[in-house]
Amino acid sequence: MYKIPKEEEIRKAIYKALKRHGSFDSLNKLREGILEELKKMNEFYTISLKRARILIARSGFVRLEVKKKHTKKKIKKCPVCGGKLSEIKNLNLYGEEVVIAYKCQLCNYRSKIYEMPVRYAFHFARY
């Protein structure tokens, strides 16, 4: 039997895991650190990778490093948190507006037109 924790409990677990370790070089390792902290609160708590990634990106106290690869797909929503992307435009030589990149309005993820994230690194941000 498993239980799904509330967002506040997950944020506390993220904060404690990053405070203890400082940084994680993969999403799986950070999820394991979060699960370790959640198990201290309730032994039945669990969290998926997708939910962990979304809450980490939106937390505000985590600095994300994203390694990207070139792909042929265009992105429609943020691949990190699922938020809305705004277009970054520039003028070409003919005076036409051209989309050169995208920026997420929630987590500040930036990418060029045909880039997708491959690997994440998480660091405790001290603002």
Report in angstroms the alpha-carbon separations of 58 from 11, 33, 42, 100.
Answer: 10, 18, 24, 24
Query: Residue 1: what pLDDT?
Result: 85
Over residues 64-122, the pLDDT tens digits come to 999 999 999 888 899 999 899 999 999 999 999 999 999 999 888 999 999 999 999 99
Reference 80, options 47, 45, 38, 115; nearest CA is: 115
Give 104's strand partners: 85
Summarize the chain as % helix, strand, coil (round to 5): 30, 35, 35
Query: Residue 127: what pLDDT?
Result: 55
Structural domain spans, the chain:
7-124
Distance CA 78, CA 123 (A): 20
Mean pLDDT of the chain: 92
pTM here is: 0.82
Give every CB contact of residue 115 below 8 A, 6+ residues apart in sequence: 68, 69, 70, 71
- Look at strands 85-91 and 62-70 and give their pairing: unpaired
Reference 125, options 57, 78, 54; nearest CA is: 57
